[in-house]
Homo-oligomer: A and B are copies of this chain.
């Protein structure tokens, strides 16, 4: 686990000298000092405190410690404080820990660019691999990572999935198809949609699945029933308000994520429209909050924890088998029916 190169012996030598000095001053063996340094048992509390004090006095510090090979995964996350991102980060952290890997988390507010300082930092850290959550890297930094043999796995809700890149996603098209068929099955014919950003493949796939379900049922989508937004609460509020104020408003709204759906809830409340009596709402993701709101939200469950796990395991595999064939994994989504959907009144 040493850091490679000829420098380790020199540094180890310096470390041993320091440890020997401390051991001599404390009148204990070097192995006792080592126990204290590494928090192992077998040293009395009093002696431990004494040795710790001596280590500090003698300037034993990290700069002289043997440098272990870093075992890190670098994760770049779009909108790191989103509820969606945190469920993915938690999943990555858990699997990485199982493999003895640390997780370095960096945030970005730009979905299509990497801060050059981020790339420099990653090259300095030389991680096992890079995981992109909701971010699409341009060619230049991709080329740099590739030339350093740092593999990249994308959790693909962010960018354009490319045939040459490893990615893990979920069945967005199928999920949206099921959500819309659920509304059609309840008898809805006037169904609006709030989409996510056009440049995110997950948004495009969800809109496409929505359209396919309508077409399969012979139901028209009026132009003003299609509203574009970001994946935020405020987009659900704004676009939901616009939909509900149309001369002939929809009886059901498919929101492209749960945060938008909660925004639609607020739009309906402020207009005195009841869910599900007057309006059915379907979300997407199944965040925890989806089951806490009233009425509880009917939504498509995206297996965020499993996606994070698969992506992390793929990085580990790429470390062990650098030539592993490019793979794209799509995990299944499922419809969770709760209280926000019902047959239309008319």
Q: Which residues of B contact A144 (CB under 8 A)?
A: 36-39
| Of A55-63, A177-185, A187-195, A198-206, the one with at least 4 CB within 8 A of chain B | A55-63
Q: Does A247 reach chain B (CB closer than 8 Å)?
A: no
Contacts of A14 in B (CB 8 A): 5
Instruction: Tell me how far the C-beta of A240 lies from the nearest C-beta in chain B, rounded to whole angstroms.
Output: 13
Q: How far is the CB of A228 from chain B (nearest CB, A)?
A: 21
A62 and B149: CB pair below 8 A? yes
Answer yes or no: A119 CB below 8 A from chain B CBs.
Answer: yes
A318 within 8 A of B: no
B87 touches A102 (CB 8 A): no
At the interface, yes or no: A80 with Cβ under 8 Å from chain B?
yes
Q: Measured between alpha carbons, how far is A121 from B68 in the docked complex, in Å? A: 9
A interface residues, Cβ below 8 angstroms from B = 1, 3-8, 10-11, 14, 36-39, 48-49, 51-52, 55-56, 60-65, 67-72, 74, 80-81, 83, 85-87, 89-90, 93-94, 97, 100, 102-107, 115-117, 119-121, 123-126, 140-141, 143-144, 146-150, 233, 262, 265-266, 269, 288-289, 292-294
Q: Give the docked Cα–Cα distance between A107 and B266 (Å).
A: 34
User: How far is it, in angstroms, between the C-alpha of A51 and the C-alpha of B144 when the chains are bound?
Assistant: 11
Q: Cβ of A100: which chain B residues have Cβ within 8 Å of it?
A: 117, 121
Separation of A3 and B81 alpha carbons in the complex (Å): 33
Measured between beta carbons, the chain B residues less than 8 angstroms from A149 are 56, 60-62
Q: How far is the CA of A270 from the CA of B126 in the complex (A)?
A: 53
